[in-house]
A and B are shown apart, each in its own frame.
Chain A
Amino acid sequence: MKTTIKIAWRNIWRTPMRSFLVIGSIVMGIWAGIFVIAFSYGLNKQRTLSSIKNSISHIQIHHPEYDKDYDSKYFLENPDLIKTELETNANIKAFAFRSLLNGMISSPVKSNGVRIIGINKNQEKEVTGIHSGLVEGNYFESKRKNQILIGEALSKKLKVKLRSKIVLTFQDTDNNIVAGAFRVCGIFKTQYTKYDEGTVFIQNSDLQRLIKSKEFHQVALLCNSLDDVDSTYHSLKTNLNDYEVKDWKTISPELAYADEIMETWLFLIMIIIMLALIFGIINTMLMAVFERRRELGMLMAIGMNKSKVFFLILTETFFLSLIGAPMGMFLGALTIKLTSETGINLAIVGEGLQSVGLGNIIYPVIETKFYIFIGVMVFIFTLIAAIYPSRKALKLKPTEAIRTI
């Protein structure tokens, strides 16, 4: 056993260049695989964070019936109670009360259905990033009444510019049609074009004047960090049990499940990389067996039995991948450590990514389970890779191996 390992170890260094090449390809393959995994997770995380920042926030509170048809009659009945609760929770960084209405926006050229979000400009600023996503104009800075923020995509559709006048039409709680003229004070752009096309922001004060009542449909809140969301969510759920409290995972399940869906693909990619590596290993070992057929024939002639010969070739194969795999994993971990601090700037392809909701800087992350998976896979695949060359070695006949001098 010890000697077999010694022989195997020395054997792989008989052709150092060839061994280096195959070990190198294992290192590169695993390194690349780990990086792709971490990058994909980073991408997903970035998408989640930007969604949270731009619209959904960490936790939302609604009237319990609100989800059924998003009807504006389901407003929050006791906003002051909610406010007190939120103000006393130390984990909550900021919250914003919103009125939500569905309506029509009309310019002289065109009309479009929109979701009207009535906000308190100071509260909202703390919770979402709309104020920082303005491409033109300002964030309700003017003291004038009836100002509106619309998305860039919508402004193009309606053919309106900054300071253009538009009309908003919607139903109030008593099903009366209410209309109001607004002036565009700012044009925003988030990372979702669809969102920009279907969402407008007005101030609650203007809205309340139009509908002559004070109604809020939604409270959006941010916790101090993503890690605080779970506990805050549970405490709000018990303390505000007359309301519907939802965390971001429930609000936007596609964000939460994106990781899980992607995971399957990442495992698959890893397996494909390993398959490619396996062929390299098999090829190398077949060459090694072929070159050493006389020596192997001699070993069998003098009395090395088949299982020992098999074990020798197996060990040599394992050395190749057991040198390569940890190095690849180490390089992968190192790369992730470095890039997760600085981030990877994707400004060059940034335009394309924006329409699907991605930011420009990606911070790769990886879970430990992938290292374990890779480790186990390397082991299994090496075993598979070793079998063919080892069997080839066993089929050698000592006479033929020795005769062909």
Chain B
Amino acid sequence: MEIIKTTHLTKVYSNNGLEVKAVNHIDLSIEEGEFTAIVGPSGSGKTTLLNMIGGLDDSTEGTVKIAGTNINSLSENELIDFRLKNIGFVFQAYNLIPVLTAKENVEFIMLLQGLSEKERKQRSEELLNHVGLTDKLDSRPNQLSGGEQQRVAVARALASKPSFILADEPTANLDSHSTSTLLDMMAEMNEKEKVTFLFSTHDQRVIDKARRVITIEDGKIIKDERR
């Protein structure tokens, strides 16, 4: 099943009358269960593309369809609700609520979705277990390493049972050990539970683990390879 479909997706920024086509007519289709990396040099448009797919940014032209819904037609509030139900986010940094523990952070998104306390508790523990943080349930983000924080972020993204997980350079702030732990964990979830991942990266080791690698340059797809 096709989860993400973009058609002629374009984003033009104008800086002092100077137009920058950050994303230039991108047609992209992502199937359920894919593990895709978007790669490209800095300024090539990775973040801009992912933000539009994630409904965080408007497109100048073209459309984004997520699981059949054209998200360009949603109002701002509908879009927030749509993100909550359909997309799991992992950012490069500032992922977690600093005043909540790891477990509370994971529970928070389920709370927004209106799940019962029992479900929240059970699922958050299960997920944190899964990402190897059984003994860090009650730690606050500032008591966790960067890698552990990103793993909590992945657990939170999964907690909402989204259609796919969107991650913009999730490993950019991590050392190589944490990077491989996080990636192995994501790959395992993709394999075992068929969770769809779409992430951007600079990191060759991350690229090596991807099953599909889309390379963009100057806002255009120049290569799309599956392995």
Contacts and interface: CB of A to CB of B under 8 A. Distances in A.
Closest 4 CB pairs of A and B: A303-B84, A10-B99, A294-B94, A399-B57
A296 to B, nearest CB: 10
Interface in B117-149: none
B47 A295 contact: no
Contacts of B156: 302
Given A7-B97, A294-B94, A295-B94, A301 B56 contact: yes
8 contacts: A298-B89, A301-B91, A302-B109, A302-B156, A303-B80, A303-B109, A399-B51, A405-B93
A300 B80 contact: yes
A402 B91 CA distance: 8
Contacts of B160: 303
Contacts of B47: 403
A135 to B, nearest CB: 70
Given A306-B80, A399-B56, A403-B47, A301 B97 contact: no
A203 B91 CA distance: 98
A301 B89 contact: yes
Give chain A's interface residue range (CB within 8 Å of chain B): 20 to 34
Contacts of A405: 92-94
Contacts of A298: 89, 91, 94-95
B101 to A, nearest CB: 10
A1 to B, nearest CB: 9
A305 B92 CA distance: 22
A224 to B, nearest CB: 62
Contact of A302 (B76, B84, B93, B107): B84
B50 to A, nearest CB: 10
Interface centre among B51, B85, B89, B91 (most CB of A within 10 A): B91
A306 B77 CA distance: 7
Contacts of B98: 14, 295
A11 interface: yes
A191 B47 CA distance: 81
B202 to A, nearest CB: 14
A213 to B, nearest CB: 90
A399 B76 CA distance: 13
Nearest to A3: B111
B112 A308 contact: yes
Contacts of B111: 3
B45 interface: no
B57 A299 contact: no
Given A3-B108, A298-B94, A303-B84, A398 B56 contact: yes
A303 B99 contact: no
Contacts of B80: 300, 303-306
A288 to B, nearest CB: 12
